[in-house]
Amino acid sequence: MISAGEFRNGVTFDMDGDVYQIIEFQHVKPGKGAAFVRTKIRNVISGAVIERTFNPTDKFPPAFVERREMEYLYNDGELYYFMDTETYEQMPLNADMLGDGFEYIKENTNVKVLSYKGNVFGVDLPSFVLLKITETEPGFRGDTATNVTKPATVETGAEVKVPLFIDIGDTIKIDTRTGEYLERVNA
């Protein structure tokens, strides 16, 4: 059993027959009254996010989420195909299981496919990816105002806001969680 006082980001537990994952947590100890744990939790099957407070002594059975290393192969309309890197078994997944940052993932990239009791419910993406710029407006000499960005299209087809000095053919580092440009990489 796991108590609410032991909650950390990413912990999965079983509550009322559903599996939840901690997105955010905060241990609160007010001057008067009992301490409590304020959380934001996500139902891993439905994807619904709720905020809930717990007594630190509340206990829940842990839910063991399997994370299998798989390689993203290609997509065929609504289905995205992944291959298990150990057994070479292929698995198709619907687009709604992939999450927001999947537009930055190119073919042949390794990801972790998440499942609970054999049911796949999501994909854990790498935090950062390196992608090449395929289309953007040229930056102009003298455009040196700080924090000015322009739209750029990367090799996966996704659009990213980048600084003016980025050109076609440059490789950039992108945070898949936020979709933000981080830095230009010499590759």
Share of the chain above pLDDT 70, in %: 95
Tell whether 120 and 156 lie within a shared domain: no
Q: Under a CB-based contact definition with an 8 Å cutoff, are residues 91 and 120 in contact?
A: yes
21-67 pLDDT tens trace: 888 899 988 888 889 999 999 888 777 889 999 999 999 999 888 88
pLDDT at 145: 60
Residues 6 or more apart in contact with residue 172 via CB below 8 angstroms: 130, 131, 132, 133, 152, 154, 160, 162, 166, 181, 182, 183, 184, 185
Residues belonging to the chain? 187
Does 142 have pLDDT greater than 60? Answer: no
pLDDT at 83: 94
Chosen domain end from 104, 124, 144: 124
Q: How many domains does the chain have?
A: 3
59-88 pLDDT tens trace: 999 988 888 999 999 988 889 999 998 999
Domain at 14, CATH number: 2.30.30.30
Tell whether 159 and 146 lie within a shared domain: yes
Tell whether 52 and 97 lie within a shared domain: no
Range of the domain at 146: 128-185
Amino acid identity, position 94: N
Residue for token pair 């981080």:
182
DSSP string of 131-158, one letter each residue? EEEEEEPPP-TT---TT-EEEEEETTS-
pLDDT band at 144 (very low <50, low <70, confident <90, very high): low
Tell whether 120 and 134 lie within a shared domain: no
pLDDT band at 140 (very low <50, low <70, confident <90, very high): low
C-alpha distances (whole Å) from 177 to each of 25, 117, 129, 174, 181 are: 19, 26, 10, 9, 11
Tell whether 80 and 118 lie within a shared domain: yes
pLDDT at 94: 86
Q: Tokens at residue 137, please?
A: 């407006």
Residues 6 or more apart in contact with residue 91 via CB below 8 angstroms: 70, 81, 82, 83, 84, 113, 120
